[in-house]
Structures are given as structure tokens and as C-alpha cells.
Amino acid sequence: MHPEPHEHGPDEAPHSHPDPGVDPHAPLPAAPRALRIGIGGPVGSGKTALVAALCRALGAELRLAVVTNDIYTTEDADFLLRNGVLPAERIRAVETGCCPHTAIRDDISANLDAVEDLEAALGPLELVLVESGGDNLTATFSKGLIDRQIFVVDVAGGDKVPRKGGPGVTTADLLVINKTDLAPLVGADLAVMDRDARARRGDLPTVFLSLVQDRAAAPVADWIRALVAARVPAP
């Protein structure tokens, strides 16, 4: 365990590792409250496209809804409606007052209200996806809002992103490195990203994704399916 920032060699930025001897996860909430998964990441990394893919993959098998914190336009809604097979009443938008990270971390009240309103309107849900507004590498979700979080980066943002770290890359329960189909075009080395992600994240999982090639985001959908299946059944 190396909780304090340190370096291994002259080529590395200071970093820290999670304690491998401690399970970093709180127990999953018991049904019937929906499992809440936060999806964060920098602007343009593909969060909305991933949400659409997950709705497409999981919409038929799970009772799900989406809360979005992005600057939300009719195009975004149309994008989800057209691509995600998700009816409009299952999507809520939250305004963030120019501070997307505040709404998911420091003051989560509007997001909690949105989740509760969805559950009140739609009945018990199994899964709520909370999509953050596009922010930066330091944005993470409060544990008061979500149960697990996914951080999405893309290869076009530069293959140095995993090495730069930040709480999203380092501590997210799942790191998604998106748009791998662009890697040859932008000169990104996926092996470097994989190695750096492992160094940053210890045992926490990382998946590579190309929504062009995998429209159902299979590795992410499977990760979510396992979480839903692992929930404590209602007494």
C-alpha cells in the first residue's frame, strides 16, 4: 500500500495506489432502491454516446432511467430517444449553474431530487444512470449520490491521460478508454494507456471501447449486469 504520493523512476509523475488489502467498496444498496451509477469524464469523451449504448443494451432487461447534468439540448434528448430506445419520461435533466462538478459532488440535492422524482413517477427502478456534465480530470461523484462510478476518457484526448491520473482516472470503479478506433489516426498507443491505467488504478478494472465497433458497449453493460445481479435481494 502506497497512499502517499511517490515515484518509481525518473520517468514517472508522483502518484499513489489504493490499498489492495482493503475492499474500497461499500456494500451495494438493497433493492428496491435503484442501483445508481455515475458516468463522468471530460467533455467530448463519449459519455452521452455510452449512456445511449447502455440504454440500448440494458433497456429491455432492466427498469432503468437516466439523469443528465449536461448542458442539455433537444439534440441530446433526440440522440437518446433515437439511439437509446429510452422514452422521454425516463430522462431528467438537471441544471448545474455553470458548475457541473458541484452538482455531482459538493451539492447533490438537485440530482437526488431528480432520482427520487423518477422513482416516484415510474415506480421502482433497478438502475439509474447519472451522467455528469463534461468536466475535467478532477471531477468525481459523491458517494451520497451514486453507488458506483464510471469514468470515461478517450484516446483522442491523448494517451497521456491515464498517466496524468486525477481522482476520476485513479478511483473510478470502472475506467472506460473510449474511441479506440481513433487510436491509429491520433497516434495514441493503447498499450501505454493500458500500462499507465494499471499503474494508477491497482486492481480496479479498465476497459477499452469503440462504440463504432461495439454499439452495445458490451464490456460496460456486462460490468453493470454483474453489479445488478450482486445486489442484496429485498427481504
| CB environment 51-90: b (16+ within 10 A), e (fewer) | bbbbbbbbbeebbbbbbbbbebeeebeeebbebbebeeeb
142 is in an annotated binding site: no
Size of residue set near another protein by CB under 8 A: 19
Query: 143, 144, 12, 141: which is closest to 152 by C-alpha?
Result: 141
Options 11-19, 40-48, 104-112, 147-155: segment touching another protein (CB under 8 A): 104-112
Q: Are 50 and 176 in contact (CB under 8 A)?
A: yes
45 is in an annotated binding site: yes
Joined together, the cell numbers standing for residue 120 give: 416516484
Q: Does 73 bind another protein (CB under 8 A)?
A: yes
Nearer to another protein, 122 or 204 (CB): 122
The correct pick among 82, 88, 109, 198 for binding another protein (CB under 8 A) is 109
Q: Does 12 bind another protein (CB under 8 A)?
A: no
Q: Does 71 bind another protein (CB under 8 A)?
A: yes
Q: Does 132 bind another protein (CB under 8 A)?
A: no
Q: Are 129 and 66 in contact (CB under 8 A)?
A: yes
Nearer to another protein, 30 or 71 (CB): 71
42 is in an annotated binding site: yes
Options 12-20, 96-104, 180-188, 196-204: segment touching another protein (CB under 8 A): 96-104
Beta bridge partners of 129: 37, 66
Nearer to another protein, 20 or 144 (CB): 144
The helix, strand and coil proportions of the chain, stated in percent and rounded to the nearest 5, come to 40, 15, 45
| CB environment 36-45: b (16+ within 10 A), e (fewer) | bbbbbbbeeb
Q: Which residue ranges are tagged as binding site for GTP?
A: 41-48
Query: Site residues (CB under 8 A) for another protein?
Result: 71-74, 94-99, 102-103, 106-110, 112-113
